[in-house]
Structure 1
């Protein structure tokens, strides 16, 4: 069994760059979307304004937006004739990070607003009564709602690492440059190389299982 695994790794050593790039792109895009989405989400949850319901409806729509539409938008922006074409970012990991960040941001923002609105307002009132500053209030909200926020980040990461349509459009699925796990699976399945596709699929399942296990243990500690 171990000899088989060793021989498999030696024969298909080109899979490791694919796995590492997939993790790099997904983690970076999730981090960017989480920072922007949580900050704006907490601010939206704490404040009432005229267009808040409209904003949330738009956000809910974007949460279910087909990834290929985001890919098309980013492609048009980064193509040679696009407004950002001079940057030369198309068919690069940066373009993939941009598209995944745009996909994950509505999820982080929408879930943050819906999940912490009530508790965030209660924490804000408590902090105001104690004379806490805005920064201290924000820190208190993040601290008290950290498990909900962690679950939201996990959902965002799941969306990022499982994405295939948008990253294929803006990344081009170029070997040793922009090929990630999902595009690798699509390519190898189309070629009939099911062993490689299944292996990468197992890796994806393992990563998902590992993240959910860590989250479960953190929740048990609470």
Structure 2
């Protein structure tokens, strides 16, 4: 018990001191996850809205694919991206393997179906009477879709936050395609695994505390946007 408390104390000291290696890992984690979340949001929210409004062919098939994607094991996504980006893969010429770009690609694949699927559910939960009202007011199809999306905005924000949580805490895919290279592709989750294996529990705990703080902040933002205390 004393060893745990000592490690926790050292972890908090590392955070308070603004350790350079710690800051680099945090910065890369936020960059990779932030870009993956941005791409997923820009593509997933419109797709989810269209599916929720029922304006796409093969809607059932696309929905089934999205739900399947939401349950994909991250390590399987990592394996797929690895094979695509390897030298013998179709995208090997890009030279992305073991770079942050590969990690962003893997996290985007993980986050996209979460954003799209939950956005679709949020849009479907909007009272159908709203669409009738905006149509009666002479709204165009685009204006109608926007009105429904604004009504479902809390659910859309929840979808984005859920996607953030799924990728900021993910380890299997980013380790496969990034390689956990110090100063290049090492993020919070992979660093925690490495430092724990090496017995540096202070740094591992510091990284864990930061990871929890980021998840807590994301959920706090969601609650604020929902207007809850």
User: TM-score surpassing 0.5?
Assistant: yes
Higher mean displacement: 211-220 or 23-32: 211-220
Judged with a 3 Å threshold, the aligned counterparts in structure 2 of structure 1 residues 51 and 5 are, in CA distance, closer, same or farther, namely: closer
Judged with a 3 Å threshold, the aligned counterparts in structure 2 of structure 1 residues 82 and 6 are, in CA distance, closer, same or farther, namely: same
1:44-85, Cα deviation, whole Å (9 max, x unpaired): 111166743333233222211111111111111111111111
1:132 equivalenced with 2:139 (yes/no): yes
1:55-204 to 2 correspondences below 5 Å: 55-119=62-126, 121-204=128-211
**Alpha-carbon separation, structure 2, partners of 1:133 and 1:153:** 27
1:5-16 to 2 correspondences below 5 Å: 12-16=19-23
Runs of at least 4 residues off by over 6 Å: none
List runs of 5+ in structure 2 lacking aligned partners.
1-8
| TM-score, structure 1 normalization | 0.90
| TM-score, structure 2 normalization | 0.88
Judged with a 3 Å threshold, the aligned counterparts in structure 2 of structure 1 residues 139 and 4 are, in CA distance, closer, same or farther, namely: closer
Higher mean displacement: 113-122 or 149-158: 113-122
Judged with a 3 Å threshold, the aligned counterparts in structure 2 of structure 1 residues 194 and 135 are, in CA distance, closer, same or farther, namely: same
Judged with a 3 Å threshold, the aligned counterparts in structure 2 of structure 1 residues 141 and 11 are, in CA distance, closer, same or farther, namely: closer
Paired residues of 1:46 and 1:121 also in contact (CA < 8 A): no
**Alpha-carbon separation, structure 2, partners of 1:145 and 1:15:** 38
Judged with a 3 Å threshold, the aligned counterparts in structure 2 of structure 1 residues 13 and 113 are, in CA distance, closer, same or farther, namely: same
Higher mean displacement: 137-146 or 48-57: 48-57
Question: What corresponds to 2:38 in structure 1?
Answer: 31
Judged with a 3 Å threshold, the aligned counterparts in structure 2 of structure 1 residues 55 and 193 are, in CA distance, closer, same or farther, namely: same
Judged with a 3 Å threshold, the aligned counterparts in structure 2 of structure 1 residues 82 and 206 are, in CA distance, closer, same or farther, namely: same
* Aligned positions, number: 221
Higher mean displacement: 210-219 or 72-81: 210-219
Higher mean displacement: 6-15 or 115-124: 6-15
1:125-169, Cα deviation, whole Å (9 max, x unpaired): 322222212332232223221111111100000011011100111
**Alpha-carbon separation, structure 1, partners of 2:102 and 2:128:** 37
**Alpha-carbon separation, structure 2, partners of 1:138 and 1:120:** 13
1:21 equivalenced with 2:28 (yes/no): yes
1:6-60, Cα deviation, whole Å (9 max, x unpaired): 6666594211110011011111111111111110111011116674333323322
